[in-house]
Each structure stands twice: as C-alpha cells, then as structure tokens.
Amino acid sequence: MNKVRFIYNPYSGENAILHELDMITKLHQDKGYQIVPYRIQKNKSLEEAFDVMDEYYRYILIAGGDGTVDSVVNAMKARNIDLPIAILPVGTANDFATFLKMPRDVKKACKAILSTKPTAIDIGKINDKYFINVASSGLFTDVSQKTDLNLKNTIGKLAYYIKGFEEIPKFRKLKVKLKAKELEYEGEMYLILVFNGQTAGGFKLANRADTRDGHLDVIMIKAVQIYEMLPLFIKILRGEHLDSDKVIYFKTEDIIIESNEDIVTDIDGEKGPEFPLHIQCIKGGIKILGIK
C-alpha cells in the first residue's frame, strides 16, 4: 500500500487539527493511501519523523503554520528526502499556503491534495537553513518569536499586532549593507524582507513574487523620517509601495546582507541565523501537491 507520512503540529491554531484526524485518514484510505502519523513534540528533533521512511512513501503531509512547514522541509533536506509535500494550513500564520491558495478548510485541502500532481516550486536558503515564505531582519521581525503561544491560539493574528505595538518604543534606524548582482547598498533601514512568497503577517508586501521564477523578492524599508511612515503604510495597503522612493525593491537569485546592529533575523516566525546572511533562491527546490 502507498503510504503518506503525516506530520502535524498539535499546538497550531487552537489545536484545530486534532478534530480532523479521522477525516484525513478516511479520505486518504479511500484513495488507497495509508496515513502514518507523527505528532510534533517540543524539544525533539523532527528528523526522527523520517526514521520509518521506505520506498512505499509517496508524499509528506504537513499540518501547521509556516514555521511548521519550514521545520519539516529542513528536516527533509537534512535527510536527503526528495518527496513532494502537501500543506494543511491550520496554524496562526499561514502566509505561504494562503499565497498558494490552499483552502483553509481541511477537508477541501485534502481533496485538492489528492486530486493534483506534484508541482516544483522555489524555496529560499539562508546560510545553512531553508525557508518557504520569507526571511527578514530589522524592526518588528521578531514579533512572532516573542508572542505567547497561548495568546496566538486564543486571538490568532491579533496577538502579533498587539505585540507589535509594544515594540514601537524601540523604533530606531539600523545600519545595513546589501550585496547582490543587481544592486549594492550601504546605509540605514528599518526593515528588510526577502520573499519567496508574497505575504507576511497577513500583509501582501511582495505582490510581484512568483515561486517558479527562480528569484527571491527583496524589499527594504529605508530609514525615512517618522512623518513619512504613514503615507508609506497607506501605499503598502494599496499595493503601491514597491515603486516608492522610500523602498528598495529588486529580484535576485543570491544576496549577502551584513549588519553589526543588535538585531535578530526571522524565518517564517522562527529565529534565524546570525549575520552575515547569505540568502539564495533554490529554483524548483521542493515539489508540492494541492496547487494548479
């Protein structure tokens, strides 16, 4: 029998996936697949989820948010497992799955997964780690890391916004150096994001990104005057910010980012590596089910 390794995060999105396990199993059994579940546990390496893998496994089914998907992809790469993935977006942050137009309804998502063939899409690599949606640094980028899990599960994305307001007193200019084939920059910024997907925190920031073009989309918010931030935010809401002179935007396959500031990096809501950062686009780096 064909098998599916089902890796699920029981802590994601008010534990929603726990009520769907039987339905997920039945839908797969009806199509001739045996579901082999693995429950993510805190402080345990995800690589052990792949100890049972054999030639009968056809894909990896992931239930969780962007951070969960990242963790699974990194564990797969560490084990050299080249199987398609499929995403059930049940986390607080599902920016990448939303970009791919995966249904939030678990039953509809399963049906989409079971009725499509694998599609190769790009992924990002930051130093020695992989990411699916966005790598970032600067102001507010560690909000997700600092937000209490129980609060996220209770009020969802609103928890991020509340935590973001708490970070406003730390607002300051940050020195950074970028080096890519397309552009070099040395100066001050507030925030830099390197997208494979399009959205972060529910905001569609990289609206020209394409996961099949072999490029990442770099967006840097310059250190402008505070009074210039409101007009820029309005442009962001309208999707007009990429052409603003307050923003540096370009596509690249490879970029190096350096900074001596005391700031962290973030990969889809999880802590990223230390500077300097070498970020690359891995064209067709993973195959995925459920999209057309």
* Mean pLDDT, rounded, for 31-45: 93
DSSP 3-state assignment of 285? strand
Above 60 in pLDDT, residue 123? yes
What is the domain class of 2-115 according to CATH?
alpha beta
Sequence-ordered list of residues with C-beta below 8 angstroms from that of 113, at least 6 positions apart, any chain: 61, 86, 289, 290
Above 70 in pLDDT, residue 171? no
Please report, for the chain, the start and end positions of each structural domain, with discontinuous segments joined by +.
2-115, 129-284
Listed range (92-106, 151-165, 206-220) with the worst mean pLDDT: 151-165
- At 14, the pLDDT band (50, 70, 90 cuts) reads low
**To the nearest whole percent, how much of the chain has pLDDT over 90?**
70
pLDDT for residue 226: 76
pLDDT for residue 138: 86
pLDDT for residue 205: 92
The answer to whether 270 is a known catalytic residue is yes
Above 80 in pLDDT, residue 15? no
* Mean pLDDT, rounded, for 1-17: 87
The CATH code belonging to domain 129-284 is 2.60.200.40
pLDDT for residue 165: 41
- At 272, the pLDDT band (50, 70, 90 cuts) reads very high
**The two three-digit tokens of residue 116, written as one number:** 């499509």
Residue with tokens 């990896």: 60
pLDDT for residue 236: 83
pLDDT for residue 200: 87
pLDDT for residue 186: 96
Strand residue runs (E) in the chain: 2-8, 33-39, 57-64, 85-89, 119-126, 129-131, 134-138, 174-180, 184-195, 199-200, 203-204, 216-222, 247-252, 254-258, 265-267, 270-271, 277-288
Listed range (13-22, 101-110, 248-257) with the worst mean pLDDT: 13-22
Above 90 in pLDDT, residue 20? yes
pLDDT for residue 143: 46
**The two three-digit tokens of residue 224, written as one number:** 């402008």
Catalytic residue among 20, 188, 270, 274: 270
pLDDT for residue 140: 62
CA 284 vs CA 6, 132, 181, 203: distances in Å = 23, 12, 21, 25
Above 50 in pLDDT, residue 79? yes
The mean pLDDT value of the chain amounts to 88
- At 161, the pLDDT band (50, 70, 90 cuts) reads very low
Task: State the Cα–Cα distance between residues 221 and 192, nearest whole angstrom.
Answer: 6
Q: Residues 126-146: pLDDT tens digits?
A: 999 999 999 999 876 644 444
* Mean pLDDT, rounded, for 36-56: 93
Listed range (50-59, 75-84, 88-97, 135-144) with the worst mean pLDDT: 135-144
Better-scored residue on pLDDT, 68 or 167 = 68
